[in-house]
A and B are shown apart, each in its own frame.
Chain A
Amino acid sequence: MVHWSAEEKQFITSVWSKVNVEECGAEALARLLIVYPWTQRFFDNFGNLSSPTAIIGNPKVRAHGKKVLTSFGEAVKNLENLKATYAKLSELHCEKLHVDPENFRLLGNILIIVLAAHFNKDFTPTCQATWQKLVGVVAHALAYKYH
């Protein structure tokens, strides 16, 4: 089980309390599809992903980005119990969605960049370290039920 210090929990909740989940989620997913275009393979039914402008303006990307980051909020609320929190989603991503877990790591890194751009100097090195740890354990929990 992952251990979180009091300081780490503080970094997580204080950053999360200032995140606009819809905006941040949309931006993170759009950047994932733009920076790592092969990730578009999972979104054939999203319509126009032909350019960065198209991706950023795509309403399905926005909606799905919001969905993904809302789910990330569950991690913030259940730091002591991430594997259980994501058990069903892990099975879904393996059995139905067939998503290589490497993609969770890519999205996690993108989320860090989005947070950094938003929080600037407040996103201190130790704050970044905490959030990299969080996205890493979320990725691990999402991959846990893979078989």
Chain B
Amino acid sequence: MVLSANDKSNVKGVFSKISSHAEEYGAETLERMFTTYPQTKTYFPHFDLHHGSAQVKAHGKKVASALIEAANHIDDIAGALSKLSDLHAQKLRVDPVNFKLLGQCFLVVVAIHHPSALTPEVHASLDKFLCAVGNVLTSKYR
């Protein structure tokens, strides 16, 4: 799966709209993921996961910032996320299936807040981008 020039442009376009809402959208993505897929909470036994949790807000900001970083370096996502990739492989070891679940919830958040921006073509590009990020983060698992 390769990101075309159009995909890259579509992704950058979406992220230009959402960058200023990183913390908010990141937190909402996580909240939706924890609500919809309760098994994802098993990675956060040390967190307060109630609505409005400061820990979820902070972590949402981290997750969103990483996605923004990847979008800003879309020609070399592996390079941009190399340290995060190491972290996930060596320490976090989040099962690969969960990146799809996070991706689905992120798409829902974009759909809710920017429905007109999420045209079918942009939807396709963003889905591909999120897959690419998931692939990079799990690339050193074995």
CB neighbors of B among A90-115 (8 A): 109, 112-114
Are B121 and A34 in contact, CB atoms less than 8 angstroms apart? yes
In the complex, A126 has a CB within 8 A of chain B: yes
Candidates B35, B107, B123, B124; contact of A126 at CB < 8 Å: B35
In the complex, B120 has a CB within 8 A of chain A: yes
Are A31 and B123 in contact, CB atoms less than 8 angstroms apart? yes
Cα-based distance from A30 to B124 in the complex (angstroms): 11
Residues from chain A with Cβ under 8 Å of B120 in the complex:
30-31, 34-35, 52, 55-56
Are B35 and A128 in contact, CB atoms less than 8 angstroms apart? yes
In the complex, B45 has a CB within 8 A of chain A: no
Among B15-23, B88-96, B111-119, B133-141, which stretch is in contact with chain A? B111-119
Cβ proximity bits B83-117 to A, threshold 8 Å, 1 near / 0 not: 00000000000000000000011011001110100
Give the size of the chain A interface in residues (CB under 8 angstroms): 23
Are B36 and A125 in contact, CB atoms less than 8 angstroms apart? yes
Residues from chain B with Cβ under 8 Å of A128 in the complex:
32, 35-36, 105, 108
In the complex, B24 has a CB within 8 A of chain A: no
Are A116 and B35 in contact, CB atoms less than 8 angstroms apart? no
Residues from chain A with Cβ under 8 Å of B32 in the complex:
125, 128-129
In the complex, A132 has a CB within 8 A of chain B: yes
Question: With A34-B123, A35-B123 as given contacts, are A129 and B104 in contact (CB-CB < 8 Å)?
Answer: no
Are B108 and A116 in contact, CB atoms less than 8 angstroms apart? yes
Residues from chain A with Cβ under 8 Å of B111 in the complex:
113-114, 116-117
In the complex, A147 has a CB within 8 A of chain B: no
Question: With A34-B123, A52-B120 as given contacts, are A121 and B31 in contact (CB-CB < 8 Å)?
Answer: no
Residues from chain B with Cβ under 8 Å of A14 in the complex:
none
Question: With A112-B104, A117-B118 as given contacts, are A35 and B36 in contact (CB-CB < 8 Å)?
Answer: no
Question: With A31-B120, A34-B124, A112-B104 as given contacts, are A125 and B115 in contact (CB-CB < 8 Å)?
Answer: no
Q: Can you sample 17 A-B contacts with CB below 8 Å?
A: A31-B120, A34-B121, A34-B123, A34-B124, A56-B120, A112-B104, A113-B108, A113-B123, A116-B111, A116-B112, A117-B111, A117-B112, A120-B113, A125-B28, A129-B32, A129-B36, A132-B36
Besides A34-B121, A120-B115, A123-B112, 19 new A-B residue pairs in contact (Cβ under 8 A), listed by A number: A31-B123, A52-B124, A55-B120, A56-B120, A109-B104, A112-B108, A113-B107, A113-B118, A117-B118, A118-B115, A120-B112, A120-B113, A125-B32, A128-B35, A128-B36, A128-B105, A129-B32, A129-B35, A132-B36
Q: Give chain A's interface residues, CB within 8 Å of chain B.
A: 30-31, 34-35, 52, 55-56, 109, 112-114, 116-121, 123, 125-126, 128-129, 132
